[in-house]
């Protein structure tokens, strides 16, 4: 009986999702359509074109599969670097600041698209490898065949080292193995390197490796340089060959294929066919994105070499380090992030951190939590009081979805643990905006949720929340900021102590007027309350936290958005960098 009742709700959810993400869907459809078109078009070209007739006599349909997948590989290799050109994306975000939420939405999914393109490369690589394994097997069998078939005759046509350029089969001796050709030819050797590098990059990019062994992911992912070089060289061997136009007039397959045993004799008008390899084409696809990416890296290198002055170092509870810095010409927006490098720890590793300062402040700051070898070494370097201050390099800032927070009438901010950092920047900026009498803010209401495992984490931004409480009271805007703190890691002693002191004016854990909740938020109740309080508003939901929480919030956004655009609409936004 639940099926019929759930069906309308499912259709409403899908409808809301399509309304909010139609541009994303369009981009994915165009990308998938382009891959399908290129594959089918190239497949039919090699399967039906007369100039590949003799090549098909040896290789069969595997030729078309190999060439069609190769073209799709080139196309996706062209696209793979564009989503990680962060300066380009920040520029586009800035120029699209006046656009609607839907038009800016694709910029927030750059890494997702990067991963999808990588998966597509893996699929077409598998097809390409399997097809060429069949091709080399067919080449080898045709060379060894002694049955006088057309395939065996074509395989005996001479190699370039001999007279003429009529060869079609790259395996020129019955004693030559497929393995030998694979590791001695340009196409074979570069193909082996490309496949090896691709396997290493994909496996090291898995979520578990990235979170627990970030350094392994970071170094392995830079093998893409070898991938790009080998891709550009892959076609130099010209192994896949087509009959030349001149040869077609002297030996057209439709007229001469059946009399192949008499080619070149006075009994036949058909001469021996001549073939030519395809010139390398991959470089044409990847040249423009490579140039763009090189420009991106040069710009980032130049900015990273500008001097950074550390003005303040603060050690917070729960092993969190706060750094306040200055850098000439540094300009930021709320919620942006930077990449940080510490040469004394690693010359090559750059790690992203969200800025916790506000644009109105004369410094920029980050909060670093110990979450791996690099961050632990980084914090330890600043804990040593008698040693010189470590030198750091900063690249950025780069734009994120959190920049759009003030574009919404109502904003719901959800931070999990250290994921509160982008919202610290936003809340600070709000404090400064209310300090100015001439401030104009489109946002009318902010709901802020902070979910932590331990009480010490609340100390990171207690002073900020205290200041906001006082500021809202003085300005008569107590209802502007509705914040809720949730403690998920607690024992009976803490809960009992909090319950015993519940009647006090301030919370015993945080010192704030807002009491701390124990457990996790009931998101259905929270979204229902927001939808009821703002029945005609556009609500932006922003998350910096784990994927499981993202799934819950995304579902709630779809569930509580109305299909009527004049009523409440929830837009889900997640930090990705």
Over 70: is that where the pLDDT of 489 sits? no
pLDDT of 162 reads 46
pLDDT of 3 reads 44
CB neighbour burial string for 431-456, b if at least 16 within 10 angstroms, e if fewer: bebbeeeeeeeebebbbbbbbbeebe
Task: State if pTM tops 0.85.
Answer: no
Over 60: is that where the pLDDT of 159 sits? no
C-alpha closest to that of 356 among 320, 305, 307, 383? 320
Both tokens of 263, joined, read 């080619």
Mean pLDDT of 259-276: 81
Mean pLDDT of 357-378: 86
Over 60: is that where the pLDDT of 2 sits? no
**Portion of the chain with pLDDT greater than 70, in percent:** 86
Average pLDDT score over the chain:
81
pLDDT of 200 reads 94
Q: What is the dihedral sign for C-alpha 206, 211, 216, 221?
A: positive
pLDDT of 453 reads 76
How far apart, in whole angstroms, are the C-alpha atoms of residue 79 and residue 197?
18
Confidence category of residue 497, pLDDT binned at 50, 70, 90? low
Confidence category of residue 97, pLDDT binned at 50, 70, 90? low
- Which CATH number does the domain 401-491+507-574 belong to among 3.40.50.80, 1.20.1440.20, 1.20.140.10, 3.40.50.300? 3.40.50.80
Over 90: is that where the pLDDT of 333 sits? no
How far apart, in whole angstroms, are the C-alpha atoms of residue 459 and residue 447?
20
pLDDT tens for each residue of 418-460: 777 788 888 888 878 877 765 677 888 888 888 877 766 666 6
**Taking the mean position of all CA atoms in its chain, how far away is CA 434?**
37
Query: For 167, phi and psi rounded to 5 degrees?
Result: -70, 145
**Residue 441: left if φ>0, alpha if ψ -120 to 50, beta else—which one?**
beta
Mean pLDDT of 187-191: 88
- % helix, strand, coil for the chain, step of 5: 55, 15, 30
How far apart, in whole angstroms, are the C-alpha atoms of residue 526 and residue 232?
54
Both tokens of 7, joined, read 């069906």
CATH tag, 306-398? 2.40.30.10
Over 60: is that where the pLDDT of 498 sits? no
Task: Evaluate whether 154 touches 57 at the Cβ level (below 8 Å).
Answer: yes
Low-confidence winner among 264-278, 359-373, 431-445 (lowest mean pLDDT) = 431-445
Q: What is the CA radius of gyration of the chain?
A: 31
Q: Report domain extents, the chain.
A: 28-92+101-245+275-289, 306-398, 401-491+507-574
Query: For 385, phi and psi rounded to 5 degrees?
Result: -70, -35
């Amino acid at each position: 009986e639940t099926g019929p009742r759930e069906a309308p709700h499912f259709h409403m959810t899908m409808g809301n999702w399509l309304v909010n993400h139609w541009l994303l869907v369009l981009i994915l459809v165009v990308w998938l359509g382009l891959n399908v078109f290129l594959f089918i078009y190239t497949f039919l070209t090699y399967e039906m074109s007369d100039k590949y007739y003799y090549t098909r006599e040896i290789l069969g349909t595997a030729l078309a599969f190999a060439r069609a997948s190769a073209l799709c590989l080139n196309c996706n290799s062209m696209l793979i670097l564009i989503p990680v050109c962060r300066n380009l994306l920040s520029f586009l975000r800035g120029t699209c600041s006046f656009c609607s939420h839907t038009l800016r939405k694709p910029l927030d999914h750059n890494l997702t698209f990067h991963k999808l393109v990588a998966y597509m490369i893996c699929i077409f690589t598998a097809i390409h490898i399997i097809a060429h394994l069949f091709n080399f097997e067919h080449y080898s069998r045709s060379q060894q065949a002694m049955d006088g078939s057309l395939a065996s005759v074509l395989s005996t046509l001479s190699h370039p080292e001999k007279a003429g350029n009529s060869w079609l089969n790259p395996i020129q001796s019955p004693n030559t193995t497929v393995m030998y050709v694979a590791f001695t030819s340009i196409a074979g050797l570069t193909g082996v390197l490309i496949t090896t590098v691709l396997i290493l990059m994909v496996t090291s990019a898995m979520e578990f490796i990235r979170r627990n062994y970030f350094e392994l992911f970071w170094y392995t992912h830079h093998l893409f340089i070898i991938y790009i070089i080998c891709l550009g060289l892959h076609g130099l061997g010209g192994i896949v060959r087509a009959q030349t136009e001149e040869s077609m007039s002297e030996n057209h397959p439709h007229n001469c294929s059946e009399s192949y045993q008499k080619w070149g004799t006075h009994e036949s008008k058909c001469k021996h066919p001549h073939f030519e390899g395809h010139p390398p084409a991959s470089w044409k696809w990847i040249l423009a994105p490579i140039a763009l990416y090189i420009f991106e890296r040069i710009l980032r290198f130049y900015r990273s070499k500008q001097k950074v002055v550390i003005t303040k170092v603060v050690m917070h509870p729960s092993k969190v380090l706060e750094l306040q810095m200055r850098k000439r010409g540094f300009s930021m927006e709320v919620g942006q992030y930077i990449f940080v490098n510490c040469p004394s720890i690693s010359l090559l590793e750059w790690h992203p951190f969200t800025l916790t300062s506000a644009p109105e402040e004369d410094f920029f700051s980050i909060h670093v939590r110990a979450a791996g070898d690099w961050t632990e070494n980084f914090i330890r370097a600043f804990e040593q009081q008698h040693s010189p201050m470590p030198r750091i390099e900063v690249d950025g800032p780069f734009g994120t979805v959190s920049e759009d927070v003030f574009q919404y009438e109502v904003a719901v901010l959800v931070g999990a643990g250290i994921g509160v950092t982008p919202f610290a920047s936003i809340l600070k900026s709000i404090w400064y905006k209310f300090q100015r009498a001439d401030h104009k803010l489109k946002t009318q209401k902010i709901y802020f949720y902070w979910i932590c495992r331990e009480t010490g984490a609340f100390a990171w931004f207690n002073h900020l929340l205290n200041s906001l409480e006082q500021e809202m009271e003085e300005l008569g805007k107590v209802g502007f900021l509705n914040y809720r703190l949730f403690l998920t890691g607690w024992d009976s002693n803490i809960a009992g102590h909090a319950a015993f002191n519940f009647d006090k004016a301030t919370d015993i854990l945080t010192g704030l007027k807002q009491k701390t909740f124990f457990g996790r938020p009931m998101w259905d109740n929270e979204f229902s309350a927001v939808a009821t309080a703002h029945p005609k508003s556009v609500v932006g939901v922003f998350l910096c936290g784990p994927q499981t929480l993202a799934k819950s919030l995304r579902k709630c956004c779809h569930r509580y958005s109305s299909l009527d655009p004049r009523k409440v609409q929830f837009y889900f936004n997640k930090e990705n960098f």
